[in-house]
Structure 1
């Protein structure tokens, strides 16, 4: 493949101060929106388009359909009832009328609209008191001999605070005048573009900023125009290359293979009170094969709530321990870490192994003892929270780092654990109970091998999901009374838009008191983020031991609590949560043999997206199907928590809309990495720049 010449760094790095009118103050405003260079402006694409290439007679205007029309001012009226309103009535050559209504206006505007003045307006008409009206249209006053119309669609750019739309347009026109030639800008092989029927980068950028008057507006608004697909392809490719390159760099460093005996794994399997599912056995075999290689394992194991990921991780840890080395498991919360600790101690200590606990609340002599055990190698498996990554924690010989619910950790934290290997990079096993849609796995996790435990252990009963309006709360409380009288246990989860622990705690406290009053014979407990860790743990253990019937909690119980006797879950304000989080919470019930239910309590009226979420949950228990729907509804940024993962949000690409491009992206990435590494560098630099360092930590 002929390698395209990489774009000159000057083209990428030219600051916006070369443009007329960009001084220090404006530069700061633009920088706040991430616009620092000419290239940033070329890729600052319109969010929509307005068609001012034609005039629509007032008689042909339709409510809800944006259009451009013109007429002369017939009436100007100012009123101050409640709030100031400026009303301007236009009349056209056909004697049809249109009302313009302004709620924010200056005195100068009022004097502009003199009777008889010719005005051209653009906006979306709506029914008003006297026929159609447009609220806050964009408008222009015309001379009698002025008739020219736009020759291209008008771009509407994302807003920049303190910077008007017209100013943004003028600045981008200047930037486009400095766009390099096609050959200087293009990085993708022409053969690929021809095969995919996509334009060059220069053609795509110019088209999207200045679409011709005959452009297909509907196609542009959908994001499926070939010019948009061209940019989406290159952006997806940049992310793919960045992640692949980091994986190759990490694996090139090499590490020590784990080739010890499987005796400990056999002992654990024989001691377990259950038989591994086929999916667990398959994923363990993949891990074992990875760990036998002299390059660091990078594998993501995803599996639905209750699919048995922890036991598979324990078996992988035993392969490290059998080699005389250490393993560490890190979880995002103390509650989840302690749940893992309890399971791992129950499984491994009977085999004569030392499992050490290291979290923020381990202090004083206990902490000193734990640190000594970790440093000397006496602790073969270390379980903890992000405390494991602190500077004072030195491992004797860390061979395997297991990271649970990895999307909850910041990038730097994961890097820090990786660097605890003292001489050789530890193998990494990442686990998540949030099933990842295939398109997301193919793009955002391109640096990881992905395994799925897609089979639940036998004996797990499907959870029936019911959607109820909060007006039916009294019926629900009666139902809880009956369930508790029959010896079953219930979760009541309080959720709020306000994410602060304090506000959540107050809401949970209020619900706790109300349920205590309504259900005097029921033993009610309370757990929220403001409680001391010891109090939280004591309440959770009391619930697990059956000493409480009803547990009122915030979403802190989303992961890590296993109470087989709990068979009813109520989620209040369910419409405020994402699908994956609702599915995680629902997974707290149905862990035993009793028929289980989840009640999604919502506040009316329900928005369309909230209704879709709740309907999806009611129709399926399949975490993978739910994850696909969640991606479709919320987009990848929110689903991944991109602020934490370090995966930059896409400017142009959309993983749902552009999923069909991914096979081409993969093939092109392979091609470029092998035959044109300099081109690959240019593509990463253009779209990601310095952010690439953290994308796959």
Structure 2
């Protein structure tokens, strides 16, 4: 944040090296950054409430006379103070106290305190309230305004933060902090918004007569002023990213299209209209001299792999290499099998590079990629590694982009070997991204949607069953398999540990083998070697197995049309998008299919809501919107990678409707006020943006 270097935090009373270091943990390194550290809620301490009128979980200021103060010795030592006014009595309970405090609460002393009333052993109690002793009952309440509560870190109390903020606001009032209003004045008038200075002063010290409701739901004009500016900064940072990429230019690819015709002619089916439309949009991009940046969204089973293959034809026929990258070894392997099956007969050589490719095989792969022998290269994150060099990389296709991080994909540019030009980029996802998220997290991309499923898919009936009916579910699996169907049994674990997941799957497989001796049961988990996994999947596909017990490794890309039943254990532990992905492994043939969500009781409210969404709908976009409402954007996209966690005042669920306007405003600033672009991005994204430009 550009500002006078003298306005260092040490200008504030009480800020020494230790506190400065603690503030750094909150990403506060200057006075201006302190001013942008906004309250996340407010407390109304401007009115004293009658003790008799307090409700459970209600925060309030109360005042009364001490009736008694006793130290109790139960499971934990505590001090219980009885406080009374003319309307009733309440207990204050302290688990941490000393002799001095015990003496302060002498009988008859006048105390004012603030806390949240909760039901306790002696009726309503206030646990560890903030309190002060009064000399006189008529002592004035603090100035009538709401008390801000700030995001804090260990070692910095609310009290300390409030005192620092008071000082910072003094600097702001007398204009020592040069905070420029970076938005055009006519916008402020149009949107009825305050200046930046007015907005900050208001949000740190709102008067008590403000509509608290407005502040809580983010609709106050002071908040809107900052929300708008923050969303603009994010959009502009995406603009900047896109224009950096597009400055480089890209190879123009306009081949005859024979390779694509041969590929389609060899398929046992005809591509859907949606697949053809989206392919057309991509091929149009590839024929331009600027790098394609396109996001292709398609619900489970809509055939994104074929779209990727048809797009690859244009680059391959123009003499360029194509890299196809997937986030997991199993999904990348699946792509490799498909692509090899489609392309080898057409004389195109495919190459493979996974994280587990070692030794001689790895050197051979690297050699084939560098010499251009491998024309279509499929792999995992391993393709990002330094020693991977392409002979001429013209198109990069990334599957499930949100697992990689918005900026990581740009590092592939160096590998292109295109004399300063950038390869084209195509990003595919089967996790439908709600429109609001797509407009912010992927604002640098054009979007295409494959909105049609191939014919012959059967709808999937979804039921939720509690785990005390497990025997019943096992019986159902047995009868389905004996009737010629095949089934998946998916084990999920809340621990991220792969070892524990594999163990759970092994135990389940052993238990089912014992209970269902007539069925042929296979097991797939993340710790098996690639060949073992492939062999078991092949057996399952060939119907040499009836039941496949698996961890979530089968989430994507596995296609066994005869499998028509899936049981998912502990579905409450997975995101809805992931459940939708898993469920999409059945219903790929013409038989009616079922998915059983075998949940652990008791389910939380959220858990119930989420499983209900899965039962109600098979539309990935609807499910993604619901997931966003229930869990928030960070989890839907895997926050760490998206940069979305840096939103400080804006909230994509609440403020999503502003995004269309914000996009236009960002373009306007970019074209007409270029001097404010960097300061705006810097103010809101600061360091995060600089690190992101990897």
Bin for the TM-score computed over the shorter chain: over 0.9
Greater alpha carbon shift after TM alignment, 333-342 vs 217-226? 217-226
Greater alpha carbon shift after TM alignment, 155-164 vs 441-450? 155-164
Unaligned runs of 5+ in 1: 1-7
1:35 to 28, 33, 36: 28
Shift of the alpha carbon at 1:128?
4.9
Unaligned runs of 5+ in 2: none
Map of 1:132 onto structure 2:
124
2:611 to 609, 614, 626: 614
Contact 2:50 2:87 in 1 (8 A): no
Contact 1:13 1:38 in 2 (8 A): no
Matched, 1:653 2:650: yes
Greater alpha carbon shift after TM alignment, 178-187 vs 599-608? 178-187
Matched, 1:380 2:372: no
Contact 1:491 1:550 in 2 (8 A): yes
Map of 1:4 onto structure 2:
none
1:175 to 168, 174, 177: 168
2:424 to 421, 424, 427: 427
Contact 2:179 2:197 in 1 (8 A): no
Contact 2:3 2:32 in 1 (8 A): no
Query: Within 5 Å, which residues of 2 pair with 1:353-364?
Result: 353-364=348-359
Map of 1:117 onto structure 2:
109
Q: State the alpha-carbon separation in 1 of the partners of residues 253 and 657 from structure 2.
A: 38
Q: State the alpha-carbon separation in 1 of the partners of residues 295 and 691 from structure 2.
A: 17
Greater alpha carbon shift after TM alignment, 333-342 vs 473-482? 333-342
1:319 to 295, 305, 314: 314
Shift of the alpha carbon at 1:453?
0.7
When residues 690 and 63 of structure 1 are mapped into structure 2, their CA distance, relative to the original with a 3 A threshold, is closer
Shift of the alpha carbon at 1:649?
3.0
Map of 1:335 onto structure 2:
330
Matched, 1:248 2:258: no
Shift of the alpha carbon at 1:693?
4.5
Map of 2:577 onto structure 1:
580
Query: Within 5 Å, which residues of 2 pair with 1:11-410?
Result: 14-92=7-85, 94=86, 96-128=88-120, 131-144=123-136, 147-150=139-142, 151-179=144-172, 181=175, 184-410=179-405
- Per-residue deviation, residues 118-143 of structure 1 (Å, max 9, x unmatched): 11122222345655332222221112
Matched, 1:489 2:486: yes
Matched, 1:678 2:671: no
Q: State the alpha-carbon separation in 1 of the partners of residues 301 and 184 from structure 2.
A: 47
Shift of the alpha carbon at 1:254?
0.9
Contact 1:317 1:400 in 2 (8 A): yes
Map of 1:415 onto structure 2:
410
Shift of the alpha carbon at 1:643?
1.2
Q: State the alpha-carbon separation in 1 of the partners of residues 616 and 524 from structure 2.
A: 30
Q: State the alpha-carbon separation in 2 of the partners of residues 33 and 690 from structure 1.
A: 13
Q: State the alpha-carbon separation in 2 of the partners of residues 641 and 112 from structure 1.
A: 51
Question: What TM-score does the superposition give when structure 2 sets the normalisation length?
Answer: 0.96
Equivalences, count? 689
Does the residue aligned with 2:646 lie in a helix, a strand or coil?
coil
Shift of the alpha carbon at 1:223?
2.1
Shift of the alpha carbon at 1:368?
3.2
Does the residue aligned with 2:588 lie in a helix, a strand or coil?
coil
When residues 535 and 117 of structure 1 are mapped into structure 2, their CA distance, relative to the original with a 3 A threshold, is same
Does the residue aligned with 1:274 lie in a helix, a strand or coil?
coil
Does the residue aligned with 2:456 lie in a helix, a strand or coil?
coil
Map of 1:535 onto structure 2:
532
Q: State the alpha-carbon separation in 2 of the partners of residues 694 and 419 from structure 1.
A: 18
Does the residue aligned with 2:182 lie in a helix, a strand or coil?
coil
Query: Within 5 Å, which residues of 2 pair with 1:491-506?
Result: 491-506=488-503
Shift of the alpha carbon at 1:251?
0.8
Does the residue aligned with 1:26 lie in a helix, a strand or coil?
helix
Shift of the alpha carbon at 1:618?
0.4
Shift of the alpha carbon at 1:566?
1.2
Does the residue aligned with 2:172 lie in a helix, a strand or coil?
coil
Greater alpha carbon shift after TM alignment, 359-368 vs 31-40? 359-368
Question: What TM-score does the superposition give when structure 1 sets the normalisation length?
Answer: 0.95
Contact 2:32 2:179 in 1 (8 A): no
When residues 12 and 417 of structure 1 are mapped into structure 2, their CA distance, relative to the original with a 3 A threshold, is farther
Shift of the alpha carbon at 1:630?
1.0
Q: State the alpha-carbon separation in 2 of the partners of residues 13 and 576 from structure 1.
A: 50
Does the residue aligned with 1:516 lie in a helix, a strand or coil?
helix
Greater alpha carbon shift after TM alignment, 20-29 vs 128-137? 128-137
Contact 1:527 1:552 in 2 (8 A): yes
Q: Aligned-pair RMSD on alpha carbons?
A: 1.9
Does the residue aligned with 1:256 lie in a helix, a strand or coil?
coil
When residues 524 and 696 of structure 1 are mapped into structure 2, their CA distance, relative to the original with a 3 A threshold, is farther
Does the residue aligned with 1:302 lie in a helix, a strand or coil?
strand
Shift of the alpha carbon at 1:502?
1.5
Contact 2:293 2:445 in 1 (8 A): yes
When residues 360 and 156 of structure 1 are mapped into structure 2, their CA distance, relative to the original with a 3 A threshold, is closer
Contact 1:648 1:695 in 2 (8 A): no
- Per-residue deviation, residues 14-49 of structure 1 (Å, max 9, x unmatched): 442332222222222221222222222212211211
When residues 125 and 413 of structure 1 are mapped into structure 2, their CA distance, relative to the original with a 3 A threshold, is closer
Does the residue aligned with 1:688 lie in a helix, a strand or coil?
helix
- Per-residue deviation, residues 198-224 of structure 1 (Å, max 9, x unmatched): 222211111111110101112212222
Matched, 1:596 2:588: no
Does the residue aligned with 1:258 lie in a helix, a strand or coil?
coil
Contact 2:522 2:547 in 1 (8 A): yes
